[in-house]
Homo-oligomer: A and B are copies of this chain.
Amino acid sequence: MTAFEPRDPLWEERVRRSFARQPFMGHLGASLSHLAPGEVDIEMPHRSELTQQHGFFHAGSTTSIADSAAGYAALSLYPAGTGVLSTEFKINLLNPGKGEKLVARGRVIKPGRTLTICRSDVYGVTGDREIHVATGLFSMICLEGVED
């Protein structure tokens, strides 16, 4: 993994502010737990509202934090005055979504002027034990003239 140089000196504040303006993350009870240039982690404690019919985290809730983690990893490297939008992604659900919380780790694989490609891995955490719940690849587009 290469180290990335942020192009906006205020990248961290910008990511935190944008995350705070995503009502859906609040609705899931998700929060930022790690930020570095090209790296964003999001945590989501277990609540029954987030589960499917067998009691596991729903693939949709798992995917939602994976997508936001990837999107904000991309945004951390964008120049000021631009915004981020997911154009597509793919996710493999490796193990049932179990744990006291899920953690999604979004990482930039390749930054680009238009498209930034990221991966995001989701882990189910119970105490200090981690299960690899999901892995995915995400394409994020950089929008000019959009405030993020």
CB 8 Å contact bits of A91-106 with B (1 = contact, 0 = none)? 1111110000000000
Identify the stretch in A4-12, A33-41, A107-115, A122-130 within 8 Å (CB) of chain B at 4 or more residues.
A107-115
Of A50, A52, A135, most B-chain CB atoms within 10 Å: A52
CB-contact partner of A52 in B22, B94, B109, under 8 A = B22
Size category of the binding interface on chain A: 35 or more
Count of this chain's copies in the oligomeric assembly? 4
Are B137 and A135 touching (Cβ within 8 A)? yes
Main secondary structure of the interface of A (DSSP, over half): mixed
User: What chain B residues lie within 8 Å of A68 (beta carbons)?
Assistant: 58, 60
How far in angstroms is the closest Cβ of chain B from A77?
Answer: 15
The smallest beta-carbon distance between A72 and chain B, in angstroms, is 10
Given that A88-B93, A93-B87 are contacting pairs, would A65 and B60 also be in contact in the complex, using a CB cutoff of 8 Å?
yes
From A2, which residue of chain B is reached at the shortest CB distance? B132
A10: shortest Cβ distance to chain B, in Å? 16
